[in-house]
């Protein structure tokens, strides 16, 4: 019925969809329906002799402005906003079928992840065994290396099902998982060695980015959709934290209540409820982020707005403190890890603030605050780098220093150019979109570096 649409226009349709979805009043089904309308109109206009891009523009214009549209939907929906907390989108009747089916399938994926996570227990591998029992390497190390490998395939499966990913893409996504599973389990890691810990820290990052490809429905090359994944990651993180907190309170209360009646449930909680809950929540939260977008979209920008100035103040105060006392960053391992974590957090904050921001809006006070944050992070980063470099020249290379050096260099490059682009934007020389494009273009660098730390660093240091 429809003529095939070129990839350029397809990308524009995707972008239009994501703009609509960002409005909290419109749901997936509404946008699906509007997209069907758009395509019908386009194929009719195309039949009348219009070029593809022309018919796209005309059809978009006829559908109407996004603002008016979302306002109209809001008026229709406002009385039912509370219901969005229960189940997403659609009318009551449709909800009973489609949404419940979706809910059930999502829960299957979550359950699958929990089962996969506990499956090694059937072979006698115990999460709580730290090796103290004397059977050589502790089983905790097995989980340290494999947790992400056990949980994330189910997240990808969920995305693949939702986005109807072609089998070719799914197979492509499985390759990094299989490769990583082989590497981290066949590498002869030294017991309690640094390379093992480093690989265990970096593997989830790499696999999360692979999951991002599934989230984007296989379209990961374009910049704008990548920003959607950044936004998703931020929202996922906030939701997960909230749910983890709630789960912790619930578990503590459960243990307390059963203790009062002299039943000790803490072993069950510790070895079953908590791990299965934590792993299953990975999928459930991903579903929640999409289904309850309206809830999180109000909260996340507020959190960034609150914490950007606070982090900026903290960093400036730390720099002033160093300048006054002359105590620069101590090259102790724990201190460097602390600073790396801080820098990663700052970068995450900046990235998320960028993704939540309207690229069309002009410079605002918040952008200046962000520049302060980025520049002070830059100063800290340079200090950390000098500390690491002086350690390397003095004591030689170690896995930790190598990983630290690489991470700090990657952050440095990003922060320098981010600061430059932010300053240019504040002066009105460059559009904000440049900053967005820079950040999205940089994402594969993280994946590449994480892959290096997982696959190359351990053999380089003889798995110590």
Residues that bind another protein (CB under 8 A): 1, 29-30, 32-34, 36-37, 39-41, 62-65, 68-69, 72-73, 75-76, 91-94, 98
Which residue, 53 or 72, is less far from another protein as judged by CB? 72
Which residue, 34 or 368, is less far from another protein as judged by CB? 34
Which residue, 70 or 308, is less far from another protein as judged by CB? 70
Contacts of 441 (CB under 8 A, 6+ apart): 223
Q: Within 13 A of 151's CA, how many CA atoms are on the CB side?
A: 23
Contacts of 135 (CB under 8 A, 6+ apart): 129
Are the CB atoms for 436 and 354 separated by under 8 Å? yes
35 conformational bin, left if phi > 0, alpha if psi -120 to 50, beta if neither: alpha
Least distance from another protein to the Cβ atom of residue 284, Å = 25
Which residue, 94 or 330, is less far from another protein as judged by CB? 94
Which residue, 98 or 328, is less far from another protein as judged by CB? 98
Least distance from another protein to the Cβ atom of residue 215, Å = 21
Least distance from another protein to the Cβ atom of residue 439, Å = 32
Least distance from another protein to the Cβ atom of residue 225, Å = 20
Which residue, 71 or 464, is less far from another protein as judged by CB? 71
Which residue, 33 or 330, is less far from another protein as judged by CB? 33
Which residue, 93 or 427, is less far from another protein as judged by CB? 93
Are the CB atoms for 372 and 316 separated by under 8 Å? yes
Least distance from another protein to the Cβ atom of residue 146, Å = 39
- The alpha carbon of residue 131 and the mean position of all alpha carbons in its chain are separated, in whole angstroms, by 32
Element containing residue 417 per DSSP (H, E):
helix 399-426
Least distance from another protein to the Cβ atom of residue 47, Å = 13
CA-wise closest residue to 120 among 138, 135, 137, 142? 142
Are the CB atoms for 89 and 95 separated by under 8 Å? yes
Q: How many CB atoms lie within 10 A of CB 243?
A: 16
Are the CB atoms for 45 and 55 separated by under 8 Å? yes
What are the distances in angstroms from CA 451 to CA 199, 200, 439?
A: 9, 11, 19
Least distance from another protein to the Cβ atom of residue 62, Å = 5
- Cα dihedral sign, 157-163-168-169: negative
- Cα dihedral sign, 331-334-336-342: negative
Least distance from another protein to the Cβ atom of residue 52, Å = 17
Least distance from another protein to the Cβ atom of residue 233, Å = 29
Which residue, 5 or 423, is less far from another protein as judged by CB? 5
CA-wise closest residue to 139 among 126, 124, 158? 126
Burial-class residue 244 by CB neighbours within 10 Å (0-12, 13-18, 19+).
middle
């Amino acid at each position: 019925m429809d003529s095939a649409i070129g990839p350029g226009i397809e990308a524009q349709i995707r972008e239009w969809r994501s703009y609509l979805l960002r409005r909290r009043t419109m749901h997936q089904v509404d946008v699906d329906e509007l997209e069907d309308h758009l395509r019908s109109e386009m194929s009719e206009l195309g039949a009348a002799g219009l070029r593809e891009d022309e018919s796209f523009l005309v059809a978009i214009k006829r559908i109407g402005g996004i603002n008016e549209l979302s306002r109209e939907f809001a008026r229709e929906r406002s009385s039912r906003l509370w219901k969005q907390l229960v189940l997403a989108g659609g009318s009551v009747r449709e909800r009973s079928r489609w949404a419940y089916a979706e809910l059930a399938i999502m829960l299957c994926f979550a359950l699958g992840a929990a089962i996969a996570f506990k499956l090694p227990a059937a072979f006698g591998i115990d999460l709580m065994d730290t090796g103290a029992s004397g059977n050589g390497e502790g089983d905790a190390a097995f989980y340290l290396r494999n947790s992400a490998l056990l949980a994330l395939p189910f997240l990808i499966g969920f995305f693949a099902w939702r986005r109807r990913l072609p089998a070719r893409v799914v197979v492509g996504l499985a390759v990094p998982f299989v490769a990583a599973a082989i590497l981290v389990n066949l590498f002869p890691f030294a017991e309690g060695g640094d390379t093992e810990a480093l690989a265990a820290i970096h593997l989830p990052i790499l696999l999360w980015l692979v999951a991002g490809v599934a989230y984007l429905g296989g379209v990961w090359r374009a910049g704008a959709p990548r920003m959607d994944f950044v936004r998703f990651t931020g929202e996922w993180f906030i939701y997960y934290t909230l749910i983890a907190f709630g789960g912790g309170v619930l578990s503590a209360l459960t243990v307390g209540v059963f203790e009062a009646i002299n039943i000790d449930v803490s072993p069950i909680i510790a070895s079953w409820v908590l791990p299965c809950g934590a792993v299953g929540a990975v999928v459930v939260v991903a579903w929640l982020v999409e289904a309850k977008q309206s809830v999180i979209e109000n909260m996340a920008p507020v959190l960034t707005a609150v914490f950007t100035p606070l982090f900026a103040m903290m960093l400036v105060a730390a720099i002033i403190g160093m300048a006054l006392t002359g105590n620069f960053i101590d090259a102790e391992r724990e201190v460097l890890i602390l600073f790396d974590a801080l820098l990663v957090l700052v970068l995450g904050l900046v990235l998320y603030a960028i993704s939540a921001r309207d690229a069309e809006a002009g410079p605002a006070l918040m952008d200046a605050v962000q520049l302060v944050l980025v520049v002070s992070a830059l100063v800290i980063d340079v200090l950390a780098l000098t500390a690491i470099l002086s350690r390397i020249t003095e004591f030689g290379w170690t896995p930790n220093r190598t990983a630290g050096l690489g991470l700090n260099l990657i952050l440095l490059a990003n922060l320098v150019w981010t600061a430059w682009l932010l300053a240019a934007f504040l002066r009105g020389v460059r559009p904000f979109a440049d900053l967005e494009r820079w950040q999205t273009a940089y994402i594969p660098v993280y994946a590449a570096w994480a892959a290096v730390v997982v696959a190359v660093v351990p053999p380089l240091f003889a798995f110590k």
